[in-house]
Structure 1
């Protein structure tokens, strides 16, 4: 009541804001939330769940890792959820744990969540994942059976791994070698598949992909192997850390970057702009991805009787720096 009185709106309007219903203007929503913060008001989530059947809590299955991509996306999801008065509960899946993804989902379901987001999950099982609440997939995921499966997809023609590969071919390289991520990662599989498909579409040779473990050390070791082959003129690594490792091995082998070999990565980690040469890579706006993904999911949760609109599009952005160039003649 104090919040409603301070803002000058009805208690019903305040309730709609805290329930994240779509019938409140953005200006009113911001005023109500600001007043609640000023008064130190905290809604009773347990009581609200009993009344509405909704927890205003979303479960997130992420990878138990410190790697930049999954970690940055998880932080962005947390920030976006706070802005719309949802809480997140996170469970992790781990590499080399065949049942880890199912266990993570089960752990979230018993805690009471309105939906589950799959964010960079790792799965070594071939069985479909069965979830009895709506699911939002961010990026490549295993097969899911759920009441509703939503996704945020790349913009038309905007697949990042394909774009990097096409860019290197357009510079004049005959083919592009790939340092792939571990293949139990769905994101790594997708990048490898789109790299390969882009070479096939361009009638370019498809070299054997070398598989690393996302670390700079693995990029360095695999880069040493590629550096010994004088036919290698372009390398696309599935993340920046492996690309930076490859830069080191090429330098030690006397192969100039980009004069002899062009190198591109993925993620645009903060250090990518400051290594030498600065690294061409792909930047994914995690804040935008989290924002549009959560809004898409919560709009559906607020109006589940209507079919969701087409998936929103998310655009990766290539960042062209000094590590790529036309091949020397």
Structure 2
């Protein structure tokens, strides 16, 4: 840093402010210091900085089922929000969220010196009493169940599923079938429960839910069965990928959408607007969840956080895959 200061003709404090990204340096001086850094080959030593101020500028993320659309989009949002705050992320996948795997992931992250941990595990095992999250690091949980010993950030799954079901009933459909997500998923459970409660509150028949695994393939397989039942006029799929498979099955079996069957999805993935027909779906703001999760974690690092539940609203996006039933 002394070499940079001499090269740029500034004080060591000014070099330190530039190296740490402080804003109280005028732009011309900042550019002069950065140019001097490049000339002398200076790079800030993050390990030394961490020893000095107690921050590693790194966030650990423990995640399961990285291949699912929701988890991958949420992870992307967390990474973007972390980068915006000057933090990098260290990813720690777990194949099954048991006590041993979760504790092992924490230990490995602790060895890699992170400032806090975000947990993105949707399976029910995370909420079982035998799984205890280690102490000593700030933790934020995304998409979890009833535990409230750490801040929890989640979408308002219930209102989204209610809006989807209510939309189909308001169009005049007698009832709504449901292609549900896997039973071990919190999101799937909340969407299924809200769908059922909305039908019950309206005094409508509740068809047996068909359980999928979030994949287009499972949506297609259930769609083949639903397409063969002429009484089915409306279906709410628990995610857009299963809705895509459902649409294919209906098309193949000669059931027009929305002429014969209306379809609603959940997620509003980028491709949903380009399905045929364009898919009515429930939009989730993954960017907002990422920002809220990182903000809650940073608050925990400064001891200003609280074990609160943060709910991010959802929004029904109406497109061409839903209409009033044919008479």
Distance 1:7 1:163 in 2: 60
Q: CA shift at 1:206, angstroms?
A: 2.2
Contact 1:233/1:262 (CA < 8 Å) preserved in 2? Answer: yes
* 1:109-120 equivalences in 2 (<5 Å): 109-120=110-121
Whether 1:220 aligns to 2:223 is: no
| Alignment gaps of 5+ in structure 1 | 19-23
Residue 326 of structure 1: aligned partner: 324
Taking structure 1 as reference, are residues 111 and 190 closer, same or farther at Cα in structure 2, changes over 3 Å only?
farther
| Alignment gaps of 5+ in structure 2 | none
Q: 2:134 aligns with which of 120, 131, 135?
A: 131
* 1:214-293 equivalences in 2 (<5 Å): 214-293=214-293
Q: How many residues align?
A: 314
- Secondary structure in 2 matching 1:159: helix
Q: CA shift at 1:273, angstroms?
A: 1.6
Q: CA shift at 1:213, angstroms?
A: 1.4
Q: CA shift at 1:314, angstroms?
A: 2.1
Deviations 1:246-296 (A, max 9, x none): 111112222221112111111222322222111111222222321232123
Q: CA shift at 1:186, angstroms?
A: 2.3
Q: RCO (CA 8 Å, sep 6+): is it higher in 1 or 2? A: 2
- Secondary structure in 2 matching 1:130: coil
Distance 1:141 1:283 in 2: 21
Distance 1:7 1:138 in 2: 45
Residue 186 of structure 1: aligned partner: 186
Taking structure 1 as reference, are residues 10 and 152 closer, same or farther at Cα in structure 2, changes over 3 Å only?
farther
Taking structure 1 as reference, are residues 186 and 235 closer, same or farther at Cα in structure 2, changes over 3 Å only?
same
- Secondary structure in 2 matching 1:254: coil
Contact 1:219/1:241 (CA < 8 Å) preserved in 2? Answer: yes
Contact 1:142/1:186 (CA < 8 Å) preserved in 2? Answer: no
- TM-score relative to the length of structure 2: 0.81
Runs of 4 or more above 6 Å deviation = 5-9, 29-32
Residue 123 of structure 2: aligned partner: 122
Deviations 1:209-231 (A, max 9, x none): 11111111111111111222222
Residue 313 of structure 2: aligned partner: 315
Q: CA shift at 1:179, angstroms?
A: 0.8
- Secondary structure in 2 matching 1:61: strand
Q: CA shift at 1:135, angstroms?
A: 1.8
Taking structure 1 as reference, are residues 164 and 37 closer, same or farther at Cα in structure 2, changes over 3 Å only?
farther
- Secondary structure in 1 matching 2:105: helix
Contact 1:62/1:118 (CA < 8 Å) preserved in 2? Answer: yes
Contact 1:179/1:219 (CA < 8 Å) preserved in 2? Answer: yes
Contact 1:177/1:236 (CA < 8 Å) preserved in 2? Answer: yes
- Secondary structure in 1 matching 2:301: helix
Q: CA shift at 1:110, angstroms?
A: 3.7
Taking structure 1 as reference, are residues 95 and 217 closer, same or farther at Cα in structure 2, changes over 3 Å only?
farther
Distance 2:85 2:64 in 1: 24
Taking structure 1 as reference, are residues 270 and 307 closer, same or farther at Cα in structure 2, changes over 3 Å only?
closer
What RMSD, in angstroms, separates the aligned Cα atoms of the two structures? 3.5
- TM-score relative to the length of structure 1: 0.80
- Secondary structure in 2 matching 1:164: helix
